[in-house]
Structure 1
Amino acid sequence: MLGYGTMPGIIFLFLLFFIPESPRFLIQKGKDEKAFLILKRINGEEVAKKEAQEIKASIEVEQSSSVKELVKPGLRMEMGVGIFLALFNQVIGMNAVTYYGPDIFRSVGFENNTEFLATSIIGSVQVVFTILAIFLIDRLGRKKLMAIGSSLMAVFMLLIGSVFFFEPANAGVLLIILIAGFTASFCVSMGPIPWIMIPEIFPNHLRAKAVGIATIFLWGANWAIGQFTPVLINNNMGGAFTFWMFAVINVICFIFVMTIVPETKNKTLEEIGQLWKTKEQLKKEKKAQEEIA
């Protein structure tokens, strides 16, 4: 089973030979001509000239930037939202299902490898609804999808916990349906959207550093879920306590999305940057523009 994991790795390694180097990296290394040829191949000559100039200007600002800027007013809130999006991507319960699906299904009576079949059904749901998310994200908006998804996930986690608590006769079938519903909700909302929003809420000159910090929190949360889920499932309350806890976390996620996370649908990076500025910063900018006018 583990050996099959080498196949995607080999395919990826082969395809890397056909992937061009990043134009930004090439310009950083002084290889402007190579960078221009790649940009030209993607968007044409006129757009390539403009993009090359923008990249050069961005790199100059980026080289003088510091991580300390991320704790300044405005950017501090931006960094906080990025970190919490990363955390909620991991701690709302999907990884518990992904990592320990066979154990969860086995605990309600699946046996003779049927628990692996049930887990593969959940995997198929992940694929289908992640594809669906591609079409919904720019139509419904990031914030709306995350709010809908987190509220549905809270309901499904509450019901999954109830299955473990009351242990009905058809627990296995109910569990597959409920976990499939939870998975579908996750895959159109808190699964892909944080990976999209985290990079787009930060300014160009700080994006790499900020995304790196958010990703540290993301994988830290991933490690915690992997380590402590078996402990929670095997305690006195078992699955009921574990999944009700995830239901509460999803409610917190819903409140966070509704009250703090901005909508970035159809907004330019400059417009997104304005969302995080303090009233004092906006007043100064307005005053400067009036003086210029």
Structure 2
Amino acid sequence: MLGYGTIPGIIFLVLLFFIPESPRYLIKKGRDSEAYQTLKQISGEKIAKKESQQIKASLDTEQSGSAKELLKPGLRMAMGVGIFLALFNQVIGMNAVTYYGPDIFRSVGFEKNTEFLATSIIGSVQVVFTIIALLLIDKLGRKKLMAIGSSLMAIFMVLIGSIFYFEPANSGPLLVIFVAGFTAAFCVSMGPIPWIMIPEIFPNHLRGKAVGIATMFLWGANWAIGQFTPILINNMGGAFTFWMFAVINVICFTFVMTIVPETKNKSLEEIAEMWKPNKKIGKEEVRKGLASTRG
């Protein structure tokens, strides 16, 4: 059965041969026409010309950066946003559900066969709503989806915690519905979007180092959730644990609404410009993002 895990890997390997090189790489290697064709396929002729010029300009001024640059004004803000997106991706409760789903369902009366059926349902929801996220992310924007998702996740976590607190009759089906709702909200928002935004918010010459730092925090949080979720459930109870995740989602919503800028329809070069100290990134870009979430 473990061998089935090789199938996605093989599919991924085959599909890699059909993925074009990035325009930045092609321009860096002097293959401008190939880069232009790739950009044209993605964005259209008019935008392709503009983005091609922006990439060339950024490469002309690009220097190898050190991690210390991430502590400078402007970039410090970007690093903070990247770290917090990475942390919220892990600590808002999805991994608690993923890692301990069978145990959670068993605690409300599911037997061995039905608990895995419930977990399979949640897995199916993950697949479907991740695909939906791919269709929505460039239409609604990163900020709006994260705001909607975190608010819905907070509501579902309150409902999940309430099941453990009040222990209503027929709590099993209710728990599956609420966990599925939480999972759907996660998969269209704080699941995929941080993985998209974290790389795109950093200047090209610092992207590798910055993403590495953010990812370090992400996996550190992943470890903590894996270690401490069962301890919390066993010692504090399911209600406290899931209400705690609800509070974290409220904090996430507040962070998204007040700090995270909208990067929809911006090139990497335009995003890099946002973080320059004289641009005063926070107020203007966050204001635009707030307007988009209300639109």
**Both structures adopt the same fold (TM-score exceeding 0.5):** yes
Larger Cα Rg: Structure 1 or Structure 2? 1
**Pairwise CA distance, 1:174:** 0.6
- 1:72 alignment partner AA: K
Cα distance in 1 between the residues matched to 2:83 and 2:204: 17
SS in 2 for 1:113: helix
**Pairwise CA distance, 1:112:** 3.2
- 1:110 alignment partner AA: F
Corresponding residue for residue 75 of structure 1? 75
For residues 226-241 of structure 1, what are the structure 2 equivalents within 5 Å? 226-235=226-235, 237-241=236-240
CA RMSD of aligned residues (A): 2.9
Range 5-14 or range 117-126, more displaced? 5-14
- 1:100 alignment partner AA: Y
**Pairwise CA distance, 1:41:** 6.8
Cα distance in 1 between the residues matched to 2:274 and 2:50: 26
Corresponding residue for residue 66 of structure 2? 66
Corresponding residue for residue 170 of structure 1? 170
Corresponding residue for residue 253 of structure 2? 254
For residues 21-60 of structure 1, what are the structure 2 equivalents within 5 Å? 32=29, 39=35, 42=38, 58=58
**Pairwise CA distance, 1:138:** 1.9
Cα distance in 2 between the residues matched to 1:146 and 1:43: 27
**Pairwise CA distance, 1:247:** 0.6
The 3 A distance-change label for structure 1 pair 99 and 38 is: farther
- 1:241 alignment partner AA: F
Corresponding residue for residue 122 of structure 1? 122
Normalized against structure 2, the TM-score is what?
0.82
SS in 2 for 1:82: helix
Range 198-207 or range 246-255, more displaced? 198-207
SS in 1 for 2:112: coil
Corresponding residue for residue 190 of structure 1? 190
For residues 87-166 of structure 1, what are the structure 2 equivalents within 5 Å? 87-166=87-166
Range 201-210 or range 92-101, more displaced? 201-210
Corresponding residue for residue 288 of structure 1? none
**Pairwise CA distance, 1:141:** 1.7
SS in 1 for 2:133: helix
The 3 A distance-change label for structure 1 pair 260 and 53 is: closer
**Pairwise CA distance, 1:223:** 1.5
Corresponding residue for residue 4 of structure 2? 4
Cα distance in 1 between the residues matched to 2:33 and 2:140: 36
Deviations 1:162-195 (A, max 9, x none): 1011111111011001001101111111111111
SS in 1 for 2:89: helix
Corresponding residue for residue 272 of structure 1? 271
- Count of aligned positions: 276
Deviations 1:137-165 (A, max 9, x none): 22222111111111111111011011011
**Pairwise CA distance, 1:52:** 8.4
Identity of matched residues, %? 81
**Pairwise CA distance, 1:2:** 3.1
The 3 A distance-change label for structure 1 pair 212 and 116 is: same
Deviations 1:35-65 (A, max 9, x none): 6686477457x99999888767655655432
**Pairwise CA distance, 1:67:** 1.3
SS in 2 for 1:234: helix
Corresponding residue for residue 286 of structure 2? none
Indicate if the aligned counterparts of 1:36 and 1:49 stay in contact, CA closer than 8 A: no
Q: 5+ residue gaps in structure 1?
A: 284-293
Cα distance in 1 between the residues matched to 2:269 and 2:57: 15
**Pairwise CA distance, 1:26:** 7.9
The 3 A distance-change label for structure 1 pair 233 and 261 is: same
- 1:252 alignment partner AA: I
SS in 2 for 1:230: helix
SS in 1 for 2:261: coil
SS in 1 for 2:90: helix
**Pairwise CA distance, 1:99:** 1.3
Cα distance in 1 between the residues matched to 2:215 and 2:200: 14
Indicate if the aligned counterparts of 1:145 and 1:189 stay in contact, CA closer than 8 A: yes
